[in-house]
Amino acid sequence: MSQSERKLHLNAFLYGTGHHEASWRLPAAEPEKNTDFRHVRTIAETAERGLLDSLFLADGYEGRSNRLEPFTLLSALAAATKRIGLIATVGTTYNEPFHVARKFASLDHISKGRAGWNIVTGAGPAARNFSRDEHPEHDERYRTAEEFVEVVKRLWDSWEDDAVVNDKARGVHIDEKKVHDIDFKGERYKVKGPLNIARPPQGNPVLVQAGSSETGKAFAARYAELIFTAQQTLGEAQAFYIDVKSRLSAYGRATDELKILPGISPILAETEAEAREIEDELFSLIDLEGAVRRLSQRLDIDLSAFGLDEPLSVEAVRGTEHVNGNKSRHQLILDLIRNERLTPRQLVKRLGGARGHFTFTGTPLQLADVIEHWFRNGGADGFNVMPQVYPGGLDIFVDRVVPELQNRGLFRTEYEGATLRENLGLARPANKYYPSVETAGQEEVGA
């Protein structure tokens, strides 16, 4: 595909009242609606009206986030939408492959082929919520994840595509010869199979990944079809893009079989001055003392020992090699401290907007310029859109930024297909173990 034929891919990252940590304190904010399905449905309808590829729900197993459980919410949204993809985060450390395979197959059937799985190993200390004493080490979690994903994919393929017959005359509902045990025996999992639901409409729901550590990038090159990543500059985004795409050939994959979407977290208004006013108001509402305390815990250093306006030094902060959580995000913070000599106040402000993702404050036209520049210069296949304020931030993005991108020939004017794979330009994978007559001999995409 030529550069002129490429089209952007856009995902909306759903996140309560917005990705700015103080968004819930704005006078117009309604944080009580975070668990109100009607409110979330309206946001989803806005994203679909803007022809965005997908909606994404992050998830974790600890803390006090007051978020709805992804499968429950996305199943309801599947009935309220028609074309937009539905991506849920599910961790591999505190789940079982059979459960995850069944849930995503069900979501894919309910949505008629719009499900995506954001695969995480779990960055937070959730062990004690699952009868365990310690959170497994980073590399161990990824080794577990590799085997976990292999089991899930085999379970999805345990049904041949034409196994469901529904032949009333012969009295045959399911052709038993086309439903297979997988008899998986690995280091961590023993799973007999088969799955108890037919192969998903997409073959496999779209596999998504968000880790940017060395282990995470290797995992993504092997399995992922979509990557959400945090990059602060175009140069960093270009380096990440080249790095990950160059790894695909080792797994027999082409570069267009993986889409890379950096996060972009905008504050938009009709004028730049108005956008700056919103930004200033948001920062004024940050609980600075609490933010410094949380950042101190993350960096393993007492930031209160520094003046709020005294530049930080990375020498005092623990290295990424000592982190057993989100290594890539920790490294991003270290790079900000090292490269920009930020003070604690400045670092809190930078991270408050979107936890380390690229933030932007300005007009819709200015944002369209940035998106086009990154897209045309090898930094992205699209963007994970993370409005700092919901729902208004998504409204202005859909109503003002999307039409500008369409005018420039960068974004679709209608959905290309009915499934998430079709809209992302990803082929439906053949059944790796039991290919049909039509697909026999074809290679599985992303195998």
138 is in an annotated binding site: yes
- How many Å apart are CA 93 and CA 70, to the nearest integer? 17
Q: Is 213 annotated as a binding residue?
A: yes
Give the whole-angstrom CA distance, residue 423 versus residue 5: 14
Confirm whether residue 212 is marked as ligand binding: yes
> How many other CB atoms sit within 10 Å of the CB of residue 18?
25
In degrees and rounded to multiples of 5, residue 265 shows phi and psi of -120, 95
Q: What are phi and psi of 106, to 5 degrees?
A: -65, -45
If one counts every other C-beta atom within 10 angstroms of the C-beta of residue 276, the result is: 14
436 labeled binding residue: no
Residues 86-98 as b or e (16 or more Cβ within 10 Å = b):
bbbbbbbbbbebb
Length of the chain: 447
Whether residue 311 is preceded by a cis peptide bond, meaning omega within 30 degrees of 0, is: no
> H or E stretch including 247?
helix 234-247
| C-alpha R_g of the chain | 22
Token look-up 């004024």 returns 284
Rounded Cα distance between 379 and 370, Å, is: 11
- The answer to whether the annotation marks 89 as part of a ligand binding site is yes
Pairing outcome for strands 184-185 and 172-174: unpaired
Classify the phi-psi angles of 430: left when phi > 0, otherwise alpha if psi is within -120 to 50, otherwise beta: beta
Q: Residue ranges for the binding site for FMN? A: 59, 89, 138, 142, 212-213
Q: Name the binding residues.
A: 59, 89, 138, 142, 212-213
